[in-house]
Amino acid sequence: MKEFIINENEAGQRFDKYLAKLLREAPKSFFYKMMRKKNITLNGKKATGNEKLFSGDHVKLFLSDETFEKFSGNDSAPRAHYALDIIYEDENILLINKPAGMLSQPADDGTPSLVEYLTGYLLKNGSLTENDLRTFRPSVCNRLDRNTSGLIAAGKSLSGLQELSGMFKSRELHKYYLCLVEGVLKEERYIKGYLAKDKKSNKVTIYKQEKENALPVETKYYPLGTNGTRTLLKVELITGRAHQIRAHLASEGHSIVGDPKYGKADKKLKGQLLHSFRMEFPSMKGSLSYLSGKIFTAPLPEIFLRTLKEDKLEESYYENLE
């Protein structure tokens, strides 16, 4: 017999969803049959699977060790280790300053991503245990391109993960970027278009007019300063499509400096000078209400600051943002 006590990261979900994670290798028919026969019980009673779980609930599995091991599997959560730059952390969420060159989410080739580094970090500091990972996996809630740096939000509790994901989906959480673009821009603009992605080339195209299989995109930018050749922009991401800022600005004739895909590569740079520097939380209720109206920023990478200094745009950055 195995006994589990529901914790806060497991509460709030249906009992059958929990069992599907705990017995990830079992067909659903198996644990429904076990519930009917009272070989799986909730708080000592027969269950149907649609019950909502609460912290402190008791789950008993009257299964042999062999059966439990067979259906729980040996699929441990992938993890890796890296000295993450944590901008903010509490019991529900983390805000991480991702460096350029790091993947946001796992890749097919097995290259470690921020998700694996996040898991390794939380295991090391004791926020999660191996047992917790049977039924809950921490994850990031927004993505940045591999060579884009800056703020990524992650959930370290189930409620934090759910509420953060909801805010990104509803666009209530406002995200701002800094980028250095080719050309001169002097007035703020709100630009719209339609984005179509070619999966084979992993490249997107922006169209001015509506097009089949193209998604609407909206981007707002604010010039902070220009040296007559390049312009430092603050960009507000209204929609959040793949490569949106890079492709949208390039379609306007102002590619991001160092962008090999939508502009011109620069041997001195690892990639595009695009940095997610600011997140503004909305007024909200729920488990993250304590973050209402909070603003978090991530400092620019050294290479970005050095390029601004070389281009005589360093003052434009500090005058407008510091």
List the structure tokens of 13.
Answer: 């979900």
Sign of CA dihedral 54, 57, 63, 69: positive
132 part of the active site: no
Q: Write the DSSP symbol of residue 110.
A: -
Distance CA 163, CA 157 (A): 10
Q: Write the DSSP symbol of residue 286.
A: S
Find the catalytic residue in 108, 109, 132, 145.
145
Distance CA 255, CA 180 (A): 9
Distance CA 60, CA 125 (A): 29
Phi, psi values for residue 153, rounded to 5°: -95, 140
CA dihedral 188, 193, 195, 196 (to 10 degrees): -150
Give 64-70 contacts, CB < 8 A, sequence gap 24+. 68/2, 68/23, 70/25
Q: Write the DSSP symbol of residue 269.
A: S
Sign of CA dihedral 49, 55, 59, 65: positive
Q: How far is CA 79 from the centre of its chain?
A: 16
Q: Provide DSSP, 205-234.
A: EEESS--TT-EEEEEEEEEEEE-SSEEEEE
Q: How far is CA 101 from the centre of its chain?
A: 16
Give 36-45 contacts, CB < 8 A, sequence gap 24+. 38/62, 39/63, 42/15
Which positions are annotated as active-site residues?
145
